[in-house]
Amino acid sequence: MQVKVQVVTITDEGQEITHEVACVERQDLTPVTLGLSLAEGKAVLKALQEVVIEWQMHAYLRQQCTCPQCGKTRRRKGMHHTVFRTVFGVLSVESPRLYHCPCQAPETTTFSPLATLLPERTTPELLFLETKWAALVSYGLTSTLLQDVLPLDEPLHAVTIRNHVLTVAERLEDALGEEQWSFINSCPAEWAALPMPNGPITVGIDGGYVKAQGEQGWFEVIAGKSLLAFTRGEESQEPVSSKCFAFVQTFDQKPKRRLFEVLKSQGHQLNQQITFLSDGGDTVCELQLYLNPQAEHLLDWFHVAMRLTVLQQTAKGLPQTTSDDEGTYQIHEPVRRSLERLKWFLWHGNVYQALQVVQSAVMDGVNRTKVRKVSQDFSIICHINMLGAWQILGFVAFPSTFGGHFSFATPCQT
């Protein structure tokens, strides 16, 4: 049995031209001969792509042969071949070079219509696939994957994908707006006039340090994910929207603009409920401010427990007792009990008592052991972590929308 695949092109005048793109032969039916193989599918797609592109090129070049102003025929200077990389193969097409018409007074004498129309030799769809998979796996694995599933004649090198990803990234960076310290540029009266927003947005942000190459040390990377609960009128569709973002904190000049654009792509409005979950770091907290007046800033229990663990490990190094001219005092056991109480209060959301415990631990360490260096060091650690406790408990101080004073967010919910 033979199966012929043909393509019929129809001109504007109604003339039909038939092109045979593939011929598949089959004998006995086996699991191997069932349907088209991957190689046969690649061959059919590549042949079909050649017919379509060739027809499109001829139609476009016929239009460019005459001057759009006066209608005179443009003179041809020469002919060369141009290679275009598409999803369905690398194709070589004839690209003529034409003289400009004297009626236009151009800057150059000649021009190439195809080079003007298609300045890049790679189609946007192929660039999208390269960028998408390069963001998920390595350049080498991306090259192997695309060559396995796409009809690419020439080998696709990892360095080529890397250069294409860099080009796309630079283009996106140029399209990004200017950085602003605040994106709340309207008043509450205008917020009330906005249409009903979509579902709440939850943004999780965390930071970490990555080892740089050679002797360059470490650099901080901030990454996050934004989840939209539902789209108004389409509550039954799941998932609605999930977007990820990441940047190098010391390198990126527009971190807040980048996060705002992610939220904007999900339909973010100033009257929309939004919750930020972070690790309480300075750089992460600053990134979240002035994006939405309805925002709520919380710190998850994982980071709460992590900070408490640091305090508990520090307390283990304290001596059991210390003495001076005034008497002997217990150090280790009271501090241990205070930290256990602190953890219990935090778990049950008792903000006031938790802060009292932190402040009491600091005051006790200073008053009872004034001349003991170890207690002084511990009190300094308590002071530092007490500042972190304000973030742990959800009391992240930030300037209000319009004034210069400071307001406080709601306590952390566990």
pLDDT tens-digit map of 6-15: 888 888 788 8
CA atoms within 13 A on the CB side of 280: 23
Does 139 have pLDDT greater than 60? yes
Q: Strand, helix or coil at 156?
A: coil
Give mean pLDDT, residues 47-73. Answer: 84
Average pLDDT over the chain reads: 77
Query: Beta partners for 170?
Result: none
**Cα 306 vs. chain centroid, distance in angstroms?**
27
361 pLDDT band, cuts 50/70/90, is low
234 pLDDT band, cuts 50/70/90, is low
Does 375 have pLDDT greater than 60? no
Give mean pLDDT, residues 30-48. Answer: 83
pLDDT at 101: 81
Does 117 have pLDDT greater than 70? yes
82 pLDDT band, cuts 50/70/90, is confident
Question: Looking at this protein, which amino acid is placed at residue 370?
Answer: K
Rounded Cα–Cα distance for residues 309 and 329 (Å):
25
Give mean pLDDT, residues 244-260. Answer: 87
For the chain, the domains span 2-117, 125-175, 198-299, 302-392
Structure token digits, residue 33: 């001969």
Rounded Cα–Cα distance for residues 388 and 395 (Å):
10
Does 240 have pLDDT greater than 80? no
Alpha-carbon Rg for the chain in angstroms: 33
Does 389 have pLDDT greater than 70? no
Structure token digits, residue 374: 């170890």
Task: Return the ∠ at Cα 71 (arms to 66 and 76), rounded to 5°.
Answer: 30
pLDDT at 134: 92
- The percentage of the chain sitting over the pLDDT mark of 70, rounded to a whole number, equals 84
Count helices and strands (H / E) in the chain. 12, 14
pLDDT at 306: 76
Specify which of 113-122, 135-144, 208-217, 361-370 reaches the highest per-range mean pLDDT. Answer: 135-144
Does 162 have pLDDT greater than 90? yes
408 pLDDT band, cuts 50/70/90, is very low
What predicted TM-score, i.e. pTM, was given to this entire model?
A: 0.65
Contacts 24+ apart (CB under 8 A), 236-242: 240/198, 240/199, 241/266, 241/267
